[in-house]
Structure 1
Amino acid sequence: MKVFIYLSLTFFIMQSLYSQTNWEWITPYPPNKIILSSTVGDNKAYFWCEANSVFSLDFETDNFEILPNYAPYGNCHPGSFAYQGIAFADSMNGYITDICTGEFRTTDGGKNWTKTASGSSMVCFGTSLVGWKLGGGGLYKTNNAGATWLQRTLPDNLFNNSLFAKMYAINENQLWILTRAQYVGQKEGVWYSYNGGNSWAELNTGLKSDSSNLVSYFDIKISPSGLGYIVGSIFNIIVNSYTGFILKTNDMGLNWELTKFPEEKFETVLLLNNQDVIVLGNTGKEPNNQILIQRRSSDSGLTWNLSTPISNYATYSEFDDAVYSTTYNSIYLFSGYSCYKSIDNGISYQKVVSSLDLSVSNVTFDSKPIVTDKQLGVAWLKWNIRPYLITTDGGETWQKKSLPSDMGSIWLAGISEEVIYLIANQLQLYKSTDFGETWQKLNLNLYSGLQALEVFSKDEFVLSAWKKLVSSTDGGESWIFGPTLDNVFLETTSISKPGYITGVGLYFDTTSQKGCIFNTSDYGLSWHLFDTDDDMLDVHLFENIGYALGKKNLYKTTDNGLSWKIIFSRGGSWYQGFSCFAFFDSLNGVIYSDAGMSITHNGGINWTKTDYGVPFISANKIVFNNRGDLFIIYEASMVKVFGNHDNSNDKYKFNAPISDYYLAQNYPNPFNPNTKIRWRSPIDSWQTLKIYDILGNEVATLVNEYKPAGFYEVEFNGHSDSGQNLSSGVYFYQLRINEFVETRKMILLK
């Protein structure tokens, strides 16, 4: 078969704020997110979390998936309106109702979100099609999983001085609404509709708020037989203490039996079957209200056994959330950024762990990888003796690894030409030439804290020891000691070429301290100092061009650090400013501030604010690998944003997020014999990816199948479909998805 090959010199990039385009979660796993509320749809649970983020849990596989943010973070917390902010009709159709940012709908399991209203209080579904929405001054009902809504009536007094806590349905007709009193004068209540919201009755539970006690209903579960439970707490404002309560009904809530437990606070009830019930919350007296507790009944609520179910894992624990899978009879309990699972009706819990359940604060990659697509990298958590993560493919895959017990904890690490240098306990320097299998302690006779490690090659590196710069050009066999600088504290350093070192830190004079940029061309024997009125954070150099980041300004040099000028500033109050930055090369960079992420493609002349929908509100550390993928760390979590190819050269370039069809340049290119091809489809469709020679002859079919929308990668091994080794030369690969067709060139070089 022959085809006409047309190579376009231009391409179009579209940005979307509410879809997952080209990023993936790396670690920790399960995710360390504060959960606001949850819902179950089919065999999945969905969790609405802090900072406008969402993740899902597959009950069948116990796999977590971190979904894209439904909206950019706007420094707003839903607070008291966070008890029910997510609802799914099934595994695909769902809603988030966030008082800060609005109402959002997904029809593809949370991979894309569309804003549907400026705000609503809560949504719930009774079946896969029928659901209700509170908001806009009324109640609305859907019969098509939220595609359209029709208004229903509500009693006027339901809205009077009430704070909605929960809306719950068991079918297309039976619906309950719980309200709670947070302040004196507010009214709690339990409301029931038997006809899909057409009429309502307020149920009498026997609990009422007064001037000293505030009643809060938090959760409700009722079975089709009429057996059900409501849990919550009564807060006594005089003694500053909670009393937990459990209400039981056998007739859909017409009558209730009340059980109270002083100094306990209940938030969730799980109705496992007609006999087994789990109630979860925290201890309820200040200041010890951060201890997770469980009340368990195996006799349909006649007796309730108290336990602290995860005390063997954590002495400090606070209840966040819990869900139950009826299909697999499994309880998932969330506390302290961890997940615990019970398969014996809450008698015991096991912590859910994985190969990537590590928190990290730093990541670094080989500055001069020997094999381009085998770039070595390390990610770790400072001052922590737990295992670290290591990659040998530029961050495509990661594995746990541990230091020998006598080394202690990782402080800093740097890599070049597959040699790792590592500062442990901020006191000792180690070296590994076998990917961390063994470590050699280097003889550095300094007893002050080691800092600012930068590795230029396998033999040349620099670090600071309090106020002294120390370099080596022979892998740590000998040392070059710069003079002691009593009034300079070095934070970070960077090397542009042998001997040329630039760093940032603090400069102290007799009356004050200032940020400073310092540089040397002779391994620190002599210095040039550039002081600023900024708190200096980081520095990165290329051959002659370099960038230094302060809290308020980004500085640039074009003469190897001899002079610096401000090219980008962040004004505002003292607490506003930049947090971190990274440059892939001298032109393409990324910077984070309290206002979000901005990118440049022309060396900082212009900056464009960008939102990739990653589940972070900011960043503590960002680093590029040699392919242009960006690794972002925030609050001990790490994600990878895939780099996109720039047609102007053979390197990967960080670019704007893509929400349309996209075919990336193969990597590596030229290649021998393997190369990887990456693409994205925004729709579910039949997809083909084929290889052609220079004459247009089809030589290999890599993909020819129906695929859901998503981001994909396939490896081409340089063989034809008949198994023959292809000869050196120019080839083309072409992606077809419906009417979309794109072709790119690649070179097989043997």
Structure 2
Amino acid sequence: MKSLIMLIIIVVFLLIGVSTVTAQNSPFYKMQQINGNEKWFFNRTEYSIFNNKENPRKEQLNPEDALFKSGESSFANFNNERWTLKFPYPTDTYLIDLEGTDNFVISTGIKLFSFYTLFSDLIWTTNKGIDWNIKHFANDTIVTALEMKQNSIWLVGSRMNADYGFVFKSTDFAYSWVEQLSIDSFLPLYLNFFDNNKGIVLTQKSENSQQLFKIFSTTDGGNNWAEKSSAINGSTEGLNANHFSSIDSGWICIRDFNNMYKILRTTDGGINWETQLTDTLDELSYIKFYDSKYGFAIGEKAIYPTSNNLILYSTTNGGINWQSNEIISDDFYSIFGYDLFFQNNFTFWLAVSDGYEAKIYKTTDGGVTLTELSQIEEIDLQLGKIKFISETRGWLVADGGSIYYTTDGGYTWTAKSRSITKDDLIDVDFVDSNNGWLASEDNSIFRTTDGGENWNVIYSDTASRNLINIDFTSLQSGNSIYKFYDYSTFTYSGIIGKTQNGGNDWQFTNYDSCGFNDLFFADQYSGWIVGEKDFNLIIYKSSDSENNWQQQTNMNLNNGPELETVHFYNDQIGFAVGNFGTILKTTNGGNYWQVAWGNFDPNQLWIHYNLTGVFLRSSNDCWVYGNKYSSGAYTNLIAHTTNQGLTWDTLTFSGQYGTGQIIFRGNTEGYCLGYKNYVTFDGGITWSLLAYPYSISKMFFTNQNNGWAVGYGGRIFKFYDSNTSIQENNKMLPVHFYLSQNYPNPFNPSTKISWQSPVGSHQTLKIYDVLGNEVATLVNEYKPAGSYEVEWDASKYSSGVYFYQLRTGNFVETKKMILMR
């Protein structure tokens, strides 16, 4: 099995080399244009400039330009800090590497949120995972490896849209970085430092069935690098794994076009390579050496047609001879990554993931026998890294931002990341800024009473039916719809749920032959459900707070239409849309519905589209979203009317399978959700590809200032617009937490630190040295909302770097300052 992360990096690297969108010299986040190449307007198209790589990087990259804001993860985000990933915490990326000590742990992860776009997160903790700091890298900037020796940290990565790699170094525990090496055209895959001075970087490029390598080595901690080049000729498909035990000695696993695997070794730093293990069908995708003699290669056993058996190749003489041992047989449904960590040349831990859980093994005889120590459930697909910092204390990271910690040698593990669920979230609803509910695809309902900081499962439905939507009209009263498909009769049944105690208990009513698709309440009493019954559209309405529903229409349109979604501006005016371009409107609460195709012949336009989203900005202003498949391609449609459907303006553009919701936050900002998401900031005149938030299926705004987006893998994003001020007694109060940079800085002997808090809370402001030791407490008391300043007199402290940290409720932020005598 080829490493998933290496495959993603290489494939995207090659694709971006072929088709890259508008050139951006700065790695800061930029809104990509719709469809990758074009920015779409209603009634016209304005083409962007293609990046033909005529502007190669000429200046050294400032690492602070490649990194977004640092701080506690719930406040470090993209898109002008308006959208925040709340869960999983602290990140949802595929964590691929990990380094650390007793007091400091750092990890990096990669997130692929569209086929051409990746980014990385860098996270670290100074208190064993209680709190995490985070840095977001810019779009198309990824980090592939970390190394830490004493107080020095190195990372290696790539700017995918600029075709070059880099090495950054930090000496202040990840708070600031300098670039030490830039690499043009080659993709960095491997980084290793053997001590605080000696290190190596392996880079690769495939060209004409050759594997081209550039190997960079340093003997002074990365200040200077020596470059070596080599090529492996022949029909080689790719590099699967690599490891160096010193600057001169290294091994790689490669695969040819016949799916034969080889192990090659170099003893001169990568200039020449000799074959040690040749032409095995076992899918070797991992290699690691304890020293120059003892090493192991791991892969999946070649058993036709499929294999989930893990095989271990071991050597005690530097790879001259290899012995194979089938170490895990049929224990896994599938294998999604593995990693080992050495205690000595015969003792190591091995972690293996099957996409759902990870099993931890340990051997004391070089892999001849393995003892299963534990299982970690809810590993989200791919395993990243296992690392022990002592014989008993260790860490494991994986996909979906999963982080685990052990203090007993791997027998038990404690989660240091937080997630609500690994299942997809399908709906979100709030009745005010504090009280909200989530629905997941496994029929669970979650509730928060503190603005989304904490969520609890309040109801889990175990019946054989699918939860579709939830809609709450008060703290106690809520509604839900389910869909059940009977494979014996090939018919749907609809279920409507009602709760009168905030979702803890539900009463259900069945509706035979109904397939419900959407639920919407305009107020506490007026609600509608749309879907299909016996291959015709159907609409139900509720006019009281009980679970009483009346069918409004059974209008029989040709071609068996089905309504997908419904939206009302008030209790009278609403639109419902569905497949075959169905658009219905009502102006009397649904007592009468009429087709609203307006100025377009339905046979020429509407009938070809499956409409999945509808939203009314006012009683006359309505937006519709959908797509069609024709001649092997998908086309998306956005339609807009300002006169209740008498006339429509339409926008079509190349799309992908699956469109969903359309929603507006006020009159200017709107979102179209689906396989790819789009955003407008000018009232729908232009639409651009939305990069963040990503992997979402549903949005909800409690008002123009607060909102939520939920989606795949239990992702929850919170929206907050800090541009809206809050006034109390005619005095302007802060609208968000903020910790200012101290002034002066550098300082001698005193400096001032200021901060602001939008709410009253217990607050602490503490000073730490570079080792993480607390040296002073400046504030430790309750403070009301407001702005504050305190002075620190450092007369009795020595020169150096210090950090000050503000902690109030769930907000934590740390900044660096320098005392210079």
How high is the TM-score relative to the length of structure 2? Answer: 0.59
Q: Work out which of the residue numbers 641, 653, 672 in structure 2 matches 1:572.
A: 653
Aligned positions of 1:239-258 closer than 5 A: 240-242=259-261
Contact 1:83 1:165 in 2 (8 A): no
Corresponding residue of 2:754 = 687
CA gap of 1:634–1:228, structure 2 versus 1, over 3 A, is farther
Answer yes or no: is 1:304 the counterpart of 2:387.
no
Aligned equivalent of 1:428: 495
Aligned to 1:414: 471
CA 1:345–1:220 in structure 2 vs 1: closer, same or farther (change >3 Å)? farther
Match of 1:536 among 611, 619, 625: 611
Measured against aligned partners, the alpha-carbon deviations of 1:552-610 in whole angstroms (never above 9, x if no partner) come to 45444555x353533xx654324499764322345654456899653447xx2655869
Shift of 1:461: 1.2
Q: 2:88, 2:482 → 1: CA distance?
A: 22
What amino acid maps onto 2:284 in structure 1?
K
- 1:481 and 1:642 map into 2 onto residues whose CA distance is 39
2:523 corresponds in structure 1 to 457
What SS does structure 1 have at the residue aligned with 2:596?
A: strand
- Structure-2 separation of matches of 1:218 and 1:320: 15
Q: CA RMSD in A?
A: 5.5
Alignment partners' CA distance in 2, 1:627 and 1:735: 29
Shift of 1:36: 6.1
CA drift of 1:471 comes to 0.7
1:123 to 164, 167, 171: 167
Contact kept in structure 2, 1:545 and 1:556, CA below 8 Å: no
Residues 188-237 of structure 1: CA deviation (Å, up to 9, x unaligned): 68776556687869899xxx956466784734365xxx799956424243
Q: Is the 8 A contact 2:94 2:398 kept in 1?
A: no
Q: Deviation digits for residues 351-376 of structure 1, max 9, x if unmatched?
A: 7664624443333324xx4xx544x3
Q: Judging changes above 3 Å, is the alpha-carbon distance between structure 1 residues 295 and 464 closer, same or farther for their aligned structure 2 residues?
A: same
Structure 2 partner of 1:377: 436
Alpha-carbon offset, residue 53 of structure 1: 3.4
Tell whether the 8 Å contact from 1:570 to 1:578 is kept in structure 2 after alignment: no
Q: Report whether the alignment pairs 1:237 with 2:237.
A: no
2:462 to 405, 428, 437: 405
1:690/1:702 contact within 8 Å kept: no
| 2:718 pairs with 1:640 | yes
Whether contact under 8 Å (1:538, 1:550) holds in the other structure is: yes
Q: In the alignment, which residue of structure 2 is the partner of 1:598?
A: 679
Q: Which residue number in structure 2 is paired with residue 220 of structure 1?
A: 243
Shift of 1:430: 0.9
Q: Any idea what the Cα deviations from partners look like across 1:482-502, whole Å, max 9, x if unmatched?
A: 231333311111223334432
SS of alignment partner, residue 52 of structure 1: strand
How many matched pairs?
Answer: 601
1:45 shift after superposition: 1.8
8 Å CA contact 2:265, 2:273 repeated in 1? no
Map of 2:323 onto structure 1: none
Measure the CA separation in 2 of the matches of 1:537 and 1:184: 46
Q: Please give the alpha-carbon distance, in whole angstroms, between the structure 2 residues aligned to 1:128 and 1:704.
A: 26
Which of 557, 560, 568 matches 1:495? 568
Taking the TM superposition and a 5 Å limit, the aligned residue runs for 1:379-394 are 379-382=438-441, 384-385=442-443, 387-394=444-451
For structure 1, the 5+ residue unaligned runs are 1-14, 103-118, 132-143, 507-512, 647-663, 692-699, 709-720, 727-731, 739-750
1:651-699 CA-to-partner distances (Å, cap 9, x unmatched) read: xxxxxxxxxxxxx426xx699xxx99524356457225599xxxxxxxx
Supply the distance in 1 between the matched residues of 2:248 and 2:181 (Cα, whole angstroms): 29
- Counterpart residue number, 2:700: 623
> What secondary structure sits across from 1:402 in the alignment?
strand
Distance (whole Å) between structure 1 residues aligned to residue 640 and residue 240 of structure 2: 58
TM-aligned CA deviation for residue 413 of structure 1: 0.9
1:146 and 1:28 map into 2 onto residues whose CA distance is 26
What is the CA–CA distance in structure 1 between the aligned matches of 2:293 and 2:393, rounded to whole Å? 14
* Alpha-carbon distance in 2 for matches of 1:90, 1:500: 66
Q: Gapped runs of 5+ residues in structure 2?
A: 1-27, 31-67, 70-76, 113-117, 309-333, 347-364, 485-493, 627-635, 744-752, 769-780, 792-821
Provide the C-alpha distance between the structure 2 equivalents of 1:544 and 1:62, rounded to a whole number of angstroms. 50
Please say if residues 153 and 173 of structure 2, whose CA atoms lie closer than 8 Å, have aligned partners that are also in contact: no
Contact persistence 1:546–1:557 (CA under 8 A): yes
Deviation at 1:84, TM superposition (A): 3.1
Q: In the alignment, which residue of structure 2 is the partner of 1:330? A: 394
Q: Does 1:665 align with 2:688?
A: no
Classify 1:195/1:30 alpha carbon distance in 2 versus 1 (closer, same or farther; 3 Å). closer
How does the TM-score come out when normalised to structure 1? 0.64
Deviation by residue 1:121-162 (Cα, 9 ceiling, x = unmatched): 24265x83899xxxxxxxxxxxx97546589xx9xxxx9x98
Alignment partner of 1:168 is 2:192: yes
Q: Secondary structure at the match of 1:173?
A: coil
Residue identity in the other structure for 2:384: D
- Corresponding letter in the other structure for 1:360: D
Q: Secondary structure at the match of 1:482?
A: strand
* Separation of aligned partners in 1, 2:379 and 2:215: 34
Cα shift readout 1:247-267 (whole Å, capped 9, x = no counterpart): 899x99999997898614233
Distance, in Å, in 2 between the alignment partners of 1:24 and 1:44 is 21
When you count strand as a share of all residues, which structure comes out higher? 2
Q: Which residue of 2 aligns with 1:28?
A: 88
Structure 1 letter corresponding to 2:105? N
Aligned to 2:796: none
Q: Distance in 1 between matches of 2:133 and 2:221?
A: 34
Given the alignment, which residue of 665, 670, 689 partners 1:584? 665
Partner of 2:362: none
After superposition, residues 671-710 of structure 1 pair within 5 angstroms as: 677-681=735-739, 683=741, 686-687=753-754, 689=756
List aligned pairs for 1:270-281, cutoff 5 A. Answer: none
| 1:86-143 residue CA offsets vs partner (Å, 9 max, x unmatched) | 67899998766324235xxxxxxxxxxxxxxxx5324265x83899xxxxxxxxxxxx
Counterpart pick for 1:563 among 635, 646, 651: 646
CA contact 1:293–1:307 (8 Å) conserved in 2: no
Q: Secondary structure, in 3 states, of the residue corresponding to 1:644? A: coil
Q: Does 1:43 align with 2:105?
A: yes
1:267 equivalent to 2:286? Answer yes
SS in 1 for 2:137: coil
Alpha-carbon offset, residue 242 of structure 1: 3.6
Which whole-Å CA distance do the structure 1 matches of 2:249 and 2:412 have between them? Answer: 22
Contact 1:174–1:192 (CA under 8 A) maintained in structure 2: yes
- Aligned-partner residue type, residue 345 of structure 2: S
Task: Tell whether the 8 Å contact from 1:130 to 1:172 is kept in structure 2 after alignment.
Answer: no
Work out the CA distance in 2 between the residues paired with 1:545 and 1:736. 51
Q: Confirm or deny: 8 A CA contact 2:519 2:529 kept in the other structure.
A: yes
CA distance in 1: counterparts of 2:563 and 2:449, whole angstroms? 31
2:379 is equivalent to residue 321 of structure 1: no
Please name the residue that 1:470 is paired with.
540
Within 2, Cα distance between the matches of 1:164 and 1:16? Answer: 22
